[in-house]
Structure 1
Amino acid sequence: MKKTHLQVVYSVLAVFIFGFVSCPVMGQVATKIPLTEKDYHLWGTLQTRAISDSGQWVSYIMAYPSGADTLFVSNTQIEKKYILPKAFDGRFIQDNIFAYRKNNNLILLNLSKGTEMGITNVSNYEGTSNGNYLITEETISSESKRLCIRNLQGKLLQAIDEVGQYVWNDAKTKILFTTTGSIPSVTIISLVAKPQIKLVYQNTNTIYSALTWQENGEDVVFYRTSVKNDKQSEVVYFNSKENKCYNLNETSSGFPKDFRIDTNSNIALKLSTDGSKVFFGIQSTLEKPDKENFEGVEIWNANDKMIYPERKLRASVGNPQLLAVWWPKTGKVKTITSEEESWVMLTGNQQYAITANPIQYEPEYKLFADRDFYLTELATGNKIKLLEKQSGQQEMIRVQPNGKYIVYFREGNWWSYDTNLNKHRNITKQLQSDWDNRKTDPGAEQNVWGLAGFTSDYKSVLLYDYYDVWLIDLQGKKSYRLTKGKETKTRFRIKVSPTSYTNYSGLPDALINLKDTQILTALNLYDGSNGFHKLRPNKSIISLVTEQGAAGRLFMSKNEQAFVYETQKFDVPPRLMFKEKDKVNHKIIYKSNPHHDKYFWGKSEMIHFKAPSGNQLNGALFYPENYKPGQKYPMIVWIYDTVSRELNQYVNPTLNNPIGLNITNLTANGYFVLLPDIEFQKGSPGKSALNCVTVAVNKVIEMGYTELGKIGLKGQSFGAYETNYIISQTNLFSAAVSGAGVSDVARHYFTINSNDNLIDAWRYENQQYRMGKSFFDDPQGYLDNSPLMQATGINTPLLTWAGLEDDNVRPEQALTLYIALRRVNKKHIMLRYPNDGHIFVNANNQIDLTNRIQQWFDHFLKKEPAANWIHKGTE
């Protein structure tokens, strides 16, 4: 290890004193140049990483497709910056010490002195929460690693060899780890003060796995498996207060007969928050007497809950894993789930389990089928039916962390269930608000606007309606609208830190302390601008960031005296901004892609138009670079559903586009680009798209920006379906491109999706295609909305593309339309790409697709000479 000095970049302020210095170019504006393909490689992406505890330093990365990434650390008070090419995994381990990895080394950078210390062969590292120690994982050989305890200057204090797995506790003060020597062991090292090592367990011929800490506690649990012939596994629970291990194996008294402990990670090993129970996976050792034979003739039964491919897949993995619970102090063991009731989540205090049969009401033609939910008290085994025919969406049934309440959404309202009192309460029935999307998007899959979390006093839940955040008492006695977004068409949401904990089949929920300041995100649904606000303990709201653009990636310092965030617009590259609590101005720390200012660039604005219902819709309109008023430009319309929120996104020019679309490329090539929102009517997805898109396009024509003969349409996936349909009904567009889209609605309805082994009918009856009923209830409606059935009306030259490995929308859909358009003698070319699926990941395919789409529109909208492949295919 050696200390070296690192180059520090300082900005020098040049001061021109007028009257003393003569400058012939003073006041002149630099001539801008057109953006061309040869310049695309210059662009990178800003990625803000962290702010130091005091807010004095901020780290960020400029990432490039070539991989030549650069890590920066900038001082927020003075013009001082460290530039670290090809560095990664940077973190502040103390306010003035920044750690990062480069090659196989860990570098500790003293930000005050500009000196470095290098540590070789480091594959991972972490600092303790108390700031006392730095822990490094260092590679000794391909089969061995060393865990090293160091001070923050990198000095080695203690080394532990032959370390296998390790995991930190929640407080980041202790590490649970295994060793792989002659006598494998499980050990805890405490880093609260002076490092202390405690041996938990050791045994020869043993493999340890699934090391798990008690949530916010001191106890641990793990699996121990013998490597001898019997390969028997045990669950081991270590009680830290007793300094004692409890063991459970298949021979233990009370262990379920004909079951074995399953150490597979599909069911997480978990310790209850009070340390009294251990949850683990078990599997039956018996072969099913009625085991289905999947060799030879396939038997597809029309009354099966699961269709044949899914049954075959599940049978290939053997007996299902079940969740079991063990009380180490008493030795009692119970199974919680069964093969039928496989869906499970625990209540917050882990005293109850909620179970359900996911396929109980199948076939239902929903992505998340309805099911009955049962509540079982684990200690007694008492079981009741909690909910009947309730939605299977995870978002619609939640549990209070460490508490007694279950909250669920049903019949348009949120309800709470008190497990102590066995009482259901409708907690939103008195409120004049919509909690789901049924009014705004009829026919689509029902979705709730969301549940942010529960209050840390265990009394309330924080819910979202379309615009606002509500604080609602779990007993249904009172409610309070925390934000006033409805009045300004602003959508507020709480910025909640993600949790690493899982709750089996359910979603983990956060505890939110409203005595602390909370950060709110705010999106204006009229003009597309967004920002951040503070929700203070007195429930007042103050603005942090209000942008006529896009603001994101906010990081608050630990002392909450400063924060950084990113801001951008379509014509303003992302910038890293800094704000101190007591200062008015927001300071620019870094401007990404400074070469942007050399080039002509478009701009964006939100336009507004009315849907057939009379509701106002938005459209994001992007101008061509070097726009000249009064001139008519070609325009490309990109569609899906709600897309106008891309208005303020800065788009790096590139040929590597997963769906062949790049707005900056197009505006640099002289195009307007329009992203109009679509309002759907139940039972009419194609016509809804047609009506909204044509109104939006005519709005731009009326504005004088484009004209007939110069307008193209593009969509991918559902947007491709809309494109295929729209051009069968109107000649408004002079060229169209659709990728990975449906053309034959009836065929798609009756297709088995190989991604999820479901029949795609659910997408029509209860989701994106918004028909709202089965094919047999409205066959004419399906045919009327099928592009294939209207193929003779397609007069727009159409380019389609498909990935031959697309398991979502099969490439046969594009082939079907190709056959139809070939038969009726229409201008059409189909591209079929090997080695790619629904969205392209192959770089060569991305480049080829982007270039061909550009050539297609250039020929038909700008009347440029046709590329040879177009000329040959459409002559």
Structure 2
Amino acid sequence: MMVTRFYILAFLLIQGLCWSQNIDSLNAVYKQYYETALRANSPNGRYVILNHSNTYGKNDYELLDVKMDKTTMLGNYDQFQFLNDDLLLMRNSNHCRFTDLRTGQSTEVSGNYIIQPTQESAQVILFNPSLRELLLVSIEGKVLWRKQDVRVYQLDTTTNNLIYTSGNDLVVTNLTSYRSKTYKVNSDIQWISSVDQRIYAANVQPKQIELYSVDLRSEKLTKQLVAVPEGFESTTRLITYLEVRENEHFIFPLYLKSKLERYENPELKITYSNRNGEDKMLYYHLGIYNLKNEQWDYLPDVNDEIPVYKFLNDKGDFIVYDLADDVVEEQQNRILDLNLFLNYGKNSYLLPQKRIEEGNYLWDRDTKQFVYFNDTTWISHNIITGKEVDLIPPNTKGWTSLEHSGLAKAPATNPVKIKGKCAIMISNHFDYFVIDLKTMQLKRVTMGEVAKTKYQLMLSKEHYPKSSWNIRIAEIDLSKDLLFKTFNKLSYDSRFATVTDKNNKTTFFQQGHYRDIIPYDNGYFLTSGFALEPFKLTILERGKYHTVYESLKKEKKGFEGARYEIFQYKTDLGTSNAALLLPVNYDPNKKYPMIVNIYEELSHDVLFFLQPYLNIMTGFNYMHYLMNGYIVLLPDLQYEVANVKNSVLLSLEKSIDSAKSLASIDDKNIGLIGLSYGGYETGLALTNSKYFKTGVAGVMISDLVSHALSQSEFMTKPNYMRAENHQMRMNNSVLDHWSLYLENSPVYHVKNIEVPVLLWTGLKDKNVSPAQARMFFMGIKRQMKKAVLLEYINETHNVLQPFNQLDFNIKIWQWFEYYLKNKKPADWIRPLTQ
């Protein structure tokens, strides 16, 4: 049936019927395809919730009974929570539905609620912030009690206490014993926290904070007034940053009053060359008040203009740096002086000239070592002795991130702390290692490099600190098995593995195209998907694998015959990957036009199943082109710093040459397409290569000189940062090497262009100025060569409005149909042909 529909569609296209009919026919075919994702599963693994969605409005949820191999369509819900093996809670903006999957009986609680199941008792908390209504409901859906005028609440999962305020009452209810205690407060409480056996509640005002505390052992309520330091104000806008540590240190954010009161003329913008571009943004300062001593542990410095605070652990050790010190703003991973404060500010140390981005450093409290990445290796700095030790053996490599050819100046991955040990885990491009910070010994954990297999440590939110103040550094427990995902960089196969640190044992799971692993009581769910391979769900129990669900089993016959190949190509710059996708019903005895889609490294696009549709916001859906007679190439391009043009051309042409040896490509009908940075690369290729019959460049950068000397509205930084140390990879200032910028700018090679070009931009783009595409177009127009410029008036860097998405997807397709297949030109193309 599916194959028949495609033959009918092909017949319509051959007959040259109007495009609107063709589009309707395509959409009728495409709308039956969708993407599937696993949203929830029961603890025992019997049930899973699957979501099926596409761009045509499909958004269905389905309950799969794994044991019975039975599916049931569910209603329109946005959250699913299994309360036990058989009870399912579903919520939307109208109600919460509690369903017993054994009997099929349901109970509904009307209203738009936030749901929070309790872990220690068979209950669910429902909260409606707009109505200030708090409900306690049994897992069967019975409302146990309902409270009104509740502004804030918190569930302490350690004690199973539900704490909330209602009017002037601060109520503590134990959900296990149902014992409740009410305390009277005379303030409007906006924040509640529970630490050990003490509860804190605060009323935040600009000049003071009223802090209430309840000792649950003595059931005594006390109140303290914390006066805000002179020159600062507290605010409820950052209420989630309030925190009490060790039942003594009250941490909260403050705004600099002078910034709050600063008058700005709305008709005038003043910028200073000796100030950081973010100096007018409202950054918060840190205050730490000692509740026992009733004095300040740490007072913020009014001279810090753009301060940033990062706590390094759950104690009182933190760093401070001031972004205002970065005046030039040419680095993406900035180097600044770090001030290390210990014990809530009692001691301080200067750590000069360190990279500031998270993941570049951590702190080991016991050994007093500040561990940091210095662009190529990990260094340990002892703050007491001043001694520095290179933690990486000289015979190892690959520790620097490959992002932007290493110009990110960051480690390959973020370091990980080891629970209960003075040790950290780090990784290079393939493997993980543990470093003992006492002995400085390095121990290898995985062995992937020889097989070109990259290991990725699987971390969940439980591994990361809960505090909003802390740096996002995970912590693992080596007494438990570590779970890794492996990815072969040559074949793109993936699988999971567990590593037991005690005996250095590695246990591998089955290899395939696996995406996620979800444990349940007696096994694992494994999800998989890939290009041309829709979602598949596999269970692993007692060492045996069994596929329990396959998406699009019938529908995928529509793209039978299409296939992919991952291959490697070589240049003087090294070896890189590319993905070659062959069309539906591919015949090696027939020549096919090919479209090359470029944007740095695009071969990894095949790691995901892509449904065909004609309103993708990038303008290019490779599945659509595979189903309409095109070969598609997705190369990983190569880069030489300060020589982007030549390295891109070398690698792009070599990847195409290699593809020609693998498939029946019509080398006289090769098109090129790129978006954003890919548009820049497309401009370079079309002006310097003879490989292409036509090209499409979207929201491109064409002139590095004007781009570098402009201000980014998107990143609030000068664009010379992006030119020097980001994607453009110039690694030099335009003022020192302007000829290098000219050489690597497409517009200065536009005189060489010989093929027609389709350009598009969004006139509200704050990422790349629309003037960049326009000047490239003007260069073509000045020579009376062929180009069309599409300017979408109300679009930005991506086309987001559905009507415009469909329009420019169709126009790009029509462009390739005319220039690569010699089809009749669409009406909007015809003026260019006359």
Query: With structure 1 as the length reference, what TM-score do the two structures score?
Result: 0.87
Q: Do structure 1's residue 463 and structure 2's residue 426 form an aligned pair? A: yes
Matches within 5 A, 1:568-647: 568-580=529-541, 582-592=542-552, 594-600=554-560, 602-613=562-573, 615-647=574-606
Residue of 186, 195, 199 corresponding to 2:178: 195
- The one-letter amino acid of 1:541's match is T
Q: Name the structure 2 match of 1:262.
A: 235
In terms of mean alpha carbon deviation, does 863-872 or 130-139 score higher?
130-139
Shift of 1:281: 1.8
Q: Name the structure 2 match of 1:562.
A: 523
Distance 1:463 1:63, change over 3 A: same
Deviations 1:801-820 (A, max 9, x none): 11111101111101111111
User: For the residues of structure 1 that align with 2:375 and 2:448, how far apart are their CA atoms?
Assistant: 25
User: For the residues of structure 2 that align with 1:644 and 1:322, how far apart are their CA atoms?
Assistant: 44
Distance 1:199 1:758, change over 3 A: same
Q: Name the structure 2 match of 1:174.
A: 161
User: For the residues of structure 2 that align with 1:426 and 1:341, how far apart are their CA atoms?
Assistant: 32
More helix by share: 2
Distance 1:870 1:506, change over 3 A: farther
> Sequence identity, in percent?
21
Give the secondary-structure state (helix, strand or coil) at the position aligned to 1:802: strand
- Which 5+ residue runs of structure 2 have no aligned equivalent? 10-25
Shift of 1:95: 1.2
Shift of 1:778: 1.9
Shift of 1:224: 0.5
Q: Do structure 1's residue 345 and structure 2's residue 310 form an aligned pair? A: yes
User: For the residues of structure 1 that align with 2:387 and 2:169, how far apart are their CA atoms?
Assistant: 48
- The one-letter amino acid of 1:164's match is R
Q: Do structure 1's residue 209 and structure 2's residue 179 form an aligned pair? A: no
Q: Name the structure 2 match of 1:224.
A: 203
Q: Name the structure 1 match of 2:18.
A: none
Residue of 354, 366, 383 corresponding to 1:390: 354
Deviations 1:112-159 (A, max 9, x none): 2232222222522222112422222369xxx53432223222223233
Give the alignment's Cα RMSD to 1 decimal. Answer: 2.9
Matches within 5 A, 1:613-762: 613=573, 615-762=574-721
Q: Name the structure 2 match of 1:354.
A: 319
User: For the residues of structure 2 that align with 1:755 and 1:660, how far apart are their CA atoms?
Assistant: 21
Q: Name the structure 1 match of 2:804.
A: 845
User: For the residues of structure 1 that align with 2:260 and 2:682, how far apart are their CA atoms?
Assistant: 50
Deviations 1:528-553 (A, max 9, x none): 22222222343322122410x3x213
- Contact 1:336/1:353 (CA < 8 Å) preserved in 2? no
In terms of mean alpha carbon deviation, does 468-477 or 760-769 score higher?
468-477
User: For the residues of structure 2 that align with 1:611 and 1:554, how far apart are their CA atoms?
Assistant: 37
- Contact 2:325/2:336 (CA < 8 Å) preserved in 1? yes
- Contact 1:71/1:88 (CA < 8 Å) preserved in 2? no
Q: Name the structure 2 match of 1:409.
A: 373
Shift of 1:737: 0.4
Q: Do structure 1's residue 279 and structure 2's residue 240 form an aligned pair? A: no
Q: Name the structure 1 match of 2:746.
A: 787
Shift of 1:298: 5.8
Distance 1:280 1:488, change over 3 A: same
Q: Do structure 1's residue 98 and structure 2's residue 88 form an aligned pair? A: yes
Give the secondary-structure state (helix, strand or coil) at the position aligned to 2:680: helix
User: For the residues of structure 2 that align with 1:529 and 1:518, how far apart are their CA atoms?
Assistant: 20
In terms of mean alpha carbon deviation, does 397-406 or 65-74 score higher?
397-406
Give the secondary-structure state (helix, strand or coil) at the position aligned to 1:812: helix
Q: Name the structure 1 match of 2:778.
A: 819
Shift of 1:246: 5.1
- The one-letter amino acid of 2:229's match is P
User: For the residues of structure 1 that align with 2:767 and 2:143, how far apart are their CA atoms?
Assistant: 53
- Contact 2:364/2:422 (CA < 8 Å) preserved in 1? no
Give the secondary-structure state (helix, strand or coil) at the position aligned to 1:470: strand
- The one-letter amino acid of 2:435's match is I
- Which 5+ residue runs of structure 1 have no aligned equivalent? 1-27
- Contact 1:324/1:337 (CA < 8 Å) preserved in 2? no
- Contact 1:267/1:280 (CA < 8 Å) preserved in 2? no
Q: Do structure 1's residue 322 and structure 2's residue 322 form an aligned pair? A: no
User: For the residues of structure 2 that align with 1:754 and 1:287, how far apart are their CA atoms?
Assistant: 22
Residue of 275, 281, 288 corresponding to 1:305: 275
Deviations 1:445-475 (A, max 9, x none): 2231112521112322111101011112123
Query: With structure 2 as the length reference, what TM-score do the two structures score?
Result: 0.91
User: For the residues of structure 2 that align with 1:380 and 1:738, how far apart are their CA atoms?
Assistant: 54
- The one-letter amino acid of 1:306's match is N
- The one-letter amino acid of 1:803's match is G
- Contact 2:2/2:557 (CA < 8 Å) preserved in 1? no
In terms of mean alpha carbon deviation, does 49-58 or 497-506 score higher?
497-506
User: For the residues of structure 2 that align with 1:222 and 1:813, how far apart are their CA atoms?
Assistant: 54
- Contact 2:680/2:700 (CA < 8 Å) preserved in 1? yes
Shift of 1:371: 0.2
Deviations 1:590-649 (A, max 9, x none): 424642224545211112211222x22110111111101121100000111121122242
User: For the residues of structure 2 that align with 1:282 and 1:362, how far apart are their CA atoms?
Assistant: 24
- Contact 2:190/2:239 (CA < 8 Å) preserved in 1? no
Give the secondary-structure state (helix, strand or coil) at the position aligned to 1:546: coil
- Contact 2:207/2:233 (CA < 8 Å) preserved in 1? no
Distance 1:812 1:147, change over 3 A: same
Distance 1:268 1:860, change over 3 A: same
Q: Name the structure 2 match of 1:331.
A: 294
- The one-letter amino acid of 2:168's match is P
Q: Name the structure 1 match of 2:12.
A: none
Matches within 5 A, 1:75-224: 75-102=65-92, 104-137=94-127, 144-171=131-158, 173-179=160-166, 183-191=167-175, 193-199=176-182, 202-203=185-186, 206-214=187-195, 217-224=196-203
Give the secondary-structure state (helix, strand or coil) at the position aligned to 2:625: helix
- Contact 1:797/1:826 (CA < 8 Å) preserved in 2? yes
Residue of 4, 16, 29 corresponding to 1:39: 29
Q: Name the structure 1 match of 2:14.
A: none
- The one-letter amino acid of 1:523's match is F
Distance 1:506 1:703, change over 3 A: same
- Contact 1:612/1:692 (CA < 8 Å) preserved in 2? no
- Contact 2:49/2:61 (CA < 8 Å) preserved in 1? yes
Distance 1:378 1:455, change over 3 A: closer
Q: Do structure 1's residue 768 and structure 2's residue 732 form an aligned pair? A: no
Give the secondary-structure state (helix, strand or coil) at the position aligned to 1:507: coil
User: For the residues of structure 1 that align with 2:592 and 2:259, how far apart are their CA atoms?
Assistant: 70
Distance 1:172 1:568, change over 3 A: farther
Q: Do structure 1's residue 376 and structure 2's residue 337 form an aligned pair? A: no
User: For the residues of structure 2 that align with 1:866 and 1:287, how far apart are their CA atoms?
Assistant: 59
User: For the residues of structure 2 that align with 1:271 and 1:811, how far apart are their CA atoms?
Assistant: 49
In terms of mean alpha carbon deviation, does 166-175 or 647-656 score higher?
166-175
